[in-house]
Amino acid sequence: MSIHDIAVTTIEGKTQQLADFKGKTLLIVNVASKCGLTPQYEALEALYKEKKDAGLEILGFPCNQFLGQEPGTDAEVAEFCSLTYNVTFPMFSKIEVNGEGRHPLYQSLIAAQPKRTTAEGSGFKDKLAGMNLLSDDETDVMWNFEKFLVDANGQVVGRFAPDMSPADAELKDAIEAQLAK
The residues carrying an active-site annotation are: 35
Amino acid occupying residue 5: D
Beta strands in the chain (DSSP E): 7-9, 15-17, 25-31, 56-62, 147-150, 156-160
Distance from C-alpha of 20 to C-alpha of 31, rounded to nearest angstrom: 21
**Phi and psi, residue 140, nearest 5°:** -60, 155
Angle at 22 between CA 18 and CA 26, to 5 degrees: 75
CA atoms within 13 A on the CB side of 12: 3
CB 164 within 8 A of CB 138: no
Of the candidates 76, 61, 79, the one whose C-alpha atom is nearest the C-alpha of residue 145 is 61
